[in-house]
Amino acid sequence: MGKKRIIKTKGSGLNQEMKARALSKIPKKKLASGNVYIQATYNNTRVTFTDSKGNVIMWASSGSLGFKGAKKATPFAAAKVAELIADKAKMIGVKEINLEVKGVAGGRESAIRTLGNKGLEINSIKDTTPVPHNGPRPRKTRRV
């Protein structure tokens, strides 16, 4: 049979490799402030950083960091995505941001908290989650 060989790695290697790759692509544009859009769905969390006019400067998602399947929608994955965007934003000189949050998943709170803890000053938080007013007509009652 022989002895089983187990290779141990520090942390999750794929996640660190993806983060390093994402941090290497830093825009050359210098900004003092910007807007951050967080979209937290039940399947993924996306964070987009734009300038004050709305032009996208950088973005990241939990899928692009190497999370797969159900782990993409976790608060931990959202915190890692927000941490990556905060690091990149600080490298281009951003000090204050306006937040716009969309979605109802668990990642929205942890992403907001991470952006605040990373040293970015949050001027405003706006919730743009779509809320249905009335919805479609209900089904007919079932007759037996």
| Whole-number average pLDDT of the chain | 87
Among candidate residues 89, 92, 95, 85, the one with its CA nearest the CA of residue 121: 95
Band (pLDDT 50/70/90 cuts) for residue 61 is very high
pLDDT at position 15 is 65
Per-residue pLDDT, averaged over 28-43, amounts to: 90
Band (pLDDT 50/70/90 cuts) for residue 25 is confident
Between the CA of residue 142 and those of 135, 136, 137, 138, what are the distances in Å? 20, 18, 15, 12
pLDDT at 2 over 80: no
pLDDT digits (tens, 9 = 90+) for 85-125: 999 999 899 999 999 999 998 889 999 999 999 989 999 99
Q: What is the pTM of this model?
A: 0.79
pLDDT at 50 over 90: yes
Distance between CA 126 and CA 110 in Å, rounded?
Answer: 16
The fold for domain 32-127 equals: Nucleotidyltransferase; domain 5 (3.30.420)
State how beta strands 121-127 and 96-102 pair: parallel
pLDDT at position 12 is 52
Q: Locate the domains of the chain by residue range.
A: 32-127
Judged by DSSP in three states, 132 sits in: coil
Residue owning tokens 């990149």: 88
